[in-house]
Structure formats: structure tokens, C-alpha cells
Amino acid sequence: MQVVSSIVDLEQILTHQHTKMALVPTMGALHEGHLSLVEIAKSKAGFVMVSIFVNPLQFGPNEDFTKYPRDLRSDLGKLAGLGVDLVFAPEVADIYQSKPKEIMANPQLANILCGLSRPGHFDGVCTVVYRLFELMNPSFAIFGEKDYQQLMIIQDMVKSYKLAVEIVPAPIIRESSGLALSSRNQYLSDSQKLAAANIHQVLKRFANDEIDINFARDFLSKLGIELEYLEKHFARTYIAAKVGSTRLIDNV
């Protein structure tokens, strides 16, 4: 498994690749959900790449960019032995050597759900993903369905810019409680994690029309969870909620 941070080193390696390549873009703090994406990548291509980059453009001024968990050594340990060929772990200056080409997300997809409380977030996501595709030229890129809104936006970006990459969706990986795996779960205390499992239960019940939004908000509030949204779009149901200061999302 080769690990590089500079674009020069990346290009030297990729110049010699003559097989299809699959990319798993991540922000690190890897968990079993990320590792499941690697397995899908291995099934799609002969050369598997993982990027680890905490992208400042997708964090708002009051969000957790500086506190976002970073542990490259741990991440590399988790990837070792999984059949990953290349890990690209650049610094901000490596990715954005000059002013980045800004890629705007489709407003019809971006200005709802997470986009309402995180203005500019999906523009930042599109900008960095476009840049990674530009640098790494994958035939396939694997994105988890936990952030389904992001998945749709990336698919739309690829179509709009006619990029030669296939976006491969990957199913949500959950704990036995139903809580969707997330790098931000490590912010939660044991009691908060127990309470957070109710987010998925509320989501399923709302999706099945068993409860309404008022019941959901009151139920979660009693557990110390602040509901941000619980809505149906594009034949799916989405939720965002804060457990303490930790914002979690899910969908079914």
C-alpha cells in the first residue's frame, strides 16, 4: 500500500497504471462503513485508491473543522491488508495550490435538508470531489448512502460536467442498535450514543406514517436530542438531529 501526499508523487504512480481504478473519498476517522466501501471498490476495479482529506470548504464558520477527528496512523492501520493500492493524504495546500475552481451544487438538490442549515456546504463538497476526480482519474468512485443528499448531488455533478467516472452507491452500515456509523459518533458519550439509537427508530416510524413530526420532536427532545429536520424527498425519508453538540444524519 503506497501512501503519498504530494500531487507530483501521485501523478508518478498513476502514470504507470493501465487498469481501471476505483476511488473511495474520505475525510479519515475511518470506521467499518468506510471499510465496506473499500470492499466494493475492490469488486469494481484492479487498482483501489483511498483519499483522506478533511476539506475546509465544506465546513461552515461555526462547524467542527478544527475539531474534526484526524488520526492518519490509525486510518492507515485499518486500511492495511485490505487490498488498498494507494492512499492519497494531502494537505490543504496540496489540493488547493491556487484558488480552487469552484463547482456549484445543483440548487434544486442542495437547497433543502442539510443545505438549509449548512449554506455552501455542498458547493465545498462538489469542489473537492471534482478536484479529486481531476487528480486521480478514477473509473469508479464509491459513496455511502448515509449522506444520500450528497450522493445525489455528486451524481448530478458527474452528469452535468460529463465526467468519465461511475458513482457507485454503498449501503449504510449500522451498529446493532440501528445507529448509522459515522466518524462523528466518537464525539458521543456512552449515554448519548444510547440515546442516539432512537434517531433511527423515529426515522423508520415517520417513514411508515406511524408518527407525525410533532411526536418525533417531542420524543427526541425528552432524550436530549434536538430535531433539525425530518422530511420526505425523492422517495426517501431523511433526518438530522443534534445529540449535545454532535450533528447526526440518517435516511431510509
Sign for the CA dihedral angle at 78, 32, 221, 227 comes to positive
The per-residue pLDDT for 98 is 74
C-alpha cell at 242: 443534534
The model's pTM: 0.95
Mean pLDDT, 10 residues at a time, the chain of 252 residues: 97 94 97 97 98 95 89 96 96 85 96 95 97 97 98 98 98 97 95 98 98 98 98 96 97 98
The domain defined by 183-246 folds into Pantoate--beta-alanine Ligase; Chain: A,domain 2 (3.30.1300)
Smallest Cα–Cα separation from 203: which of 184, 186, 228? 228
Half-sphere exposure of 135 (CA within 13 A, CB side): 27
What whole-number distance in Å separates Cα of residue 122 and Cα of residue 148? 12
Catalytic residue among 34, 121, 200, 233: 34
Tell me how many degrees the CA angle 36-170-246 measures, rounded to the nearest 5.
80
Active site residue 16: no
Q: pLDDT tens digit string along 207-246?
A: 999 999 999 999 999 999 999 999 999 999 999 999 999 9
Smallest Cα–Cα separation from 175: which of 247, 248, 240? 248
C-alpha cell at 72: 492518519
Domain boundaries, the chain: 2-170, 183-246
The domain defined by 2-170 folds into Rossmann fold (3.40.50)
What whole-number distance in Å separates Cα of residue 109 and Cα of residue 49? 28
